[in-house]
Amino acid sequence: MALQSSGTIDLSDVNVELGNSATAYITMGSAAVRDLFGVASGAISLSDGYGASAVTPWYGGRGLFGGGSYMLDTIDYITIATTGNAVDFGNLTISRSHLAGCSNGTRGVFGGGLAFTDTIDYITISTTGNATDFGNLTVARRSLSSCSNGTRGVFAAGLPASYLLENTIDYITIATTGNATDFGNVTVARHGSAGCANATRGIFAAGSVAGDTIEYITIATVGNATDFGNLTTVRQDIPGACSSETRGVFGGGWGPSATSNVIDYITIATTGNAVDFGNLTVARYGLAACSNSTRGVFGGVGTVIDYITISTTGNASDFGDLTVSRSNLASCSGD
């Protein structure tokens, strides 16, 4: 359902849309309301909520982290709304690092990875257990990025066995199984980039050679990526990225001469340069991120997990620890 597109909206309507009791305490400036209305800061009114919907199918309460260095098949999970250590979920179909993950809220999908595989496998997020074969990417590669609009999963760029940087974008329909299909190309061939999305746009940022580049696609169509703007700092290798329906957030990475703790953000529906958000608890690269649309969680490089509230700005806080120390892993979320 969605809020009405005209007339009077009251806070009980907002509560119901958010899945709360109609009489629950809520304020207009709360993070949940700002995310629902798409107003990150400043003045907000009930009319900003016309047509707003809390149905964002690729978000969910459970975050998953899969694979990682050195060539692990480990999958573990967290409950994003709480803090605490990750719990064992199961195993990927093959051990690998430098892979990418996305979901439709029900099914989580992991694609590519080292050693230069085209493997795609999937899990059912609400259960625990081992992954199952899904199909294959159009190009076998590692250090790729991914995003989803809840229907399509998209995999972009990467490094194939030839070590010639890849500009390929390919996609799958997450609810089915089968091989990926060509989508188009990124503006700059690279590896080690990060991806996030809302219901319309997919965003890819950073990576070796690309530096501070941000670009976007319209996920429901096929075609080449378009320039979006630039990150606040050059980061050449594997930052983590997550999003709400409004904001995309990028944390960590390498570059240009040191490991970064920088978190910056964009407004996905517009184009333009990123804005400073705050800092991770630990500077690092080779991490992965997921969200429940309110809280963003960054995991990996050692056992570190930290989190932010996406609709605000500020430094990350400690969340807990992964089950296994690792980097260059992948993440997704759902229920």
Tokens of 284: 């690092």
Whether 85 is covered by a domain: the verdict is yes
DSSP string, 159-214: B-TT-PPEEEEEEEETTS-S--EEEEE-SS--SS-EEEE-SSEEEEE--TTTTTEE
Whether 184 is covered by a domain: the verdict is yes
Tokens of 322: 């992964």
Q: 115 and 193 in one domain?
A: yes
How far is it, in rounded angstroms, from Cα 324 to Cα 261?
22
Angstrom CA distances, 285 to 131, 220, 256, 292, stand at 26, 30, 12, 22
Q: How many domains does the chain have?
A: 2
C-alpha 160, offset from chain centre: 22
Tokens of 308: 């932010």
Q: 37 and 131 in one domain?
A: no
The pLDDT value given to residue 18: 75
Q: 277 and 155 in one domain?
A: yes
Whether 56 is covered by a domain: the verdict is no
CATH number of the domain where residue 273 is located: 2.120.10.80
The pLDDT value given to residue 19: 65
Angstrom CA distances, 278 to 36, 38, 103, stand at 23, 21, 27
Q: 120 and 16 in one domain?
A: no
pTM here?
Answer: 0.84
For residue 319, the enclosing domain spans 62-334
> How is residue 48 annotated by DSSP?
G
Residues whose CB falls within 8 Å of the CB of residue 237, separated by 6 or more in sequence, listed in order: 192, 206, 207, 208, 253, 254, 255, 285, 286
Whether 121 is covered by a domain: the verdict is yes
Q: Please check whether residue 107 is in contact with residue 125, taking contact to mean a CB–CB distance below 8 angstroms.
A: yes
- Nearest of 312, 326, 279, 242 to residue 35 by alpha carbon: 312
pLDDT by residue, tens only, the chain of 335 residues:
567 878 898 899 888 777 677 898 989 988 778 877 878 788 999 998 887 766 555 688 999 999 999 899 999 999 999 999 999 999 999 999 999 999 999 999 999 999 999 999 999 999 999 999 999 999 999 999 999 998 899 999 999 999 999 999 999 999 999 999 999 999 999 999 999 999 889 999 999 988 899 999 999 999 999 999 999 999 888 899 999 988 999 999 997 778 999 999 999 989 999 999 999 999 999 999 999 988 999 999 999 999 999 999 999 999 999 999 999 999 999 98
CB-based burial label for 205 (10 Å; 0-12, 13-18, 19+): buried
The pLDDT value given to residue 60: 86
